[in-house]
Amino acid sequence: MKYCTIVLLLSFFATSFHLTQSATLQISQFGGKPNGDIAKALTSAWAQACASTSASKIVIPAGTYQMTHVFLKGPCKAPIELSVDATIKAPVKPEDVGGDEMLRIDYADALTISGKGVFDGQGSYAWKQNDCSKKFSCKLLGMNFAFNFVTNSIVRGITSKDSKHFHVNVLGCKNFTFDGFKVTAPENSANTDGIHIGRSTGVNVLNTDIGTGDDCVSLGDGSKQVLVQNVKCGPGHGISIGSLGKYKEEEPVDGITIKSCSIKGTQNGVRIKTWPSQPGTITVTNMRFEDITMDNVSNPVIIDQEYCPWNQCTKQYPSKIKISKVIIKNIKGTSATKEGIILACSSGVPCEGVEISNVDLKFNGAPAIAVCSNVKPKITGKVPPCTAPSNKKQ
């Protein structure tokens, strides 16, 4: 009996040790080599990790690697961490990537992506092909990351560099956090939104530094309970809710908080933008912009319900998007234009429940002004009085 017991114990410890050892999967075990394309190696490593009943860690160590399109799919049997300290480069030409994203992950739960790694989209060639300024529906040239229906997960410490189009697209996700994430691209990189969130609930963007050629963070339809906190934004177009209303089958936006952020040298600060003369009829409610510092920002606080870039629409009919319950509080710094606050609400469905308190914005050393239409905000504390747009009767 003693002999059998000892054998069983040794067998148990050996199995446990093997499971512990196999929990860390090096990319080299699957043929991933520096300077080579690691797409197949990462796909194989994911398949093994996803099938494991215990937590797994996939490691891509420091070095430079190439990577064409990788599509990783769950659900998996246990949590997975993808630890990246490498620089991973996409092909220069969009058609050579082999998909719409460099890395796409669908239906994962308890996923962690961590490390000091850089995902480099090598986007400068693609930016020259961008025709979104000429076409209402333009071709997407490829993203660095797409997360679809990912839950209870975190991206920490990783850098997204020079994506061909959006850096990150978040769709249908729940309880998903970006912490210490970084996005970097030059100001002239068209449509390179840092993090675009749509139809997702409980997304947090924290302690993140974003400089790009479009919105630092953009929130599309169906975004709910989103927190953007301690984000440094610039260059770029600011932090935006929208654009909304372009399409008929859009979902409401509810519970967006943008706080303790610093925005520098951008075209806009915090913004809500909706299309006029378009079919969308959703509601936008419970927006909060608080404790934000502006540094030479062209439109620090703006609601634009006549958003029509490159004249790709008409303004014949007002926007049908209803905006309500918006709090604008503790905004300070400098404006690059005289109009520090612009509230251009829809004449068809005027904004309601807008509250503004403690706004201290300077333009050339003097207080910036507030321009308001189709809204009667509640004012408390130090706030510039609302004036009518100059093209309308006072």
Domain residue limits, the chain: 35-387
pLDDT of residue 390: 81
Are 373 and 333 in contact by the 8 Å Cβ rule? The answer is no
**What number is the average pLDDT over the span 162-178?**
98
- Calculate the average pLDDT of the chain: 92
Residue with tokens 């509640």: 378
**What number is the average pLDDT over the span 22-27?**
88
pLDDT of residue 43: 98
Task: Report percent pLDDT > 90 for the chain.
Answer: 87
Task: Select from 197, 145, 208, 155 the least CA-distant residue to 173.
Answer: 197
Question: Which one-letter amino acid corresponds to residue 98?
Answer: G
35-387, superfamily in CATH? Single-stranded right-handed beta-helix, Pectin lyase-like (2.160.20.10)
CA distance to 238, 262, 282, per residue, from 382 (Å): 24, 20, 32
* Band (138; pLDDT cuts 50, 70, 90): low
Chain-centre distance of CA 376, in angstroms? 31
**What number is the average pLDDT over the span 124-146?**
79
**What number is the average pLDDT over the span 13-24?**
47
Residue 137 pLDDT exceeds 80: no
pLDDT of residue 22: 46
* Band (1; pLDDT cuts 50, 70, 90): very low
Residue 264 pLDDT exceeds 70: yes
Q: Is residue 69 annotated as part of the catalytic site, yes or no?
A: no
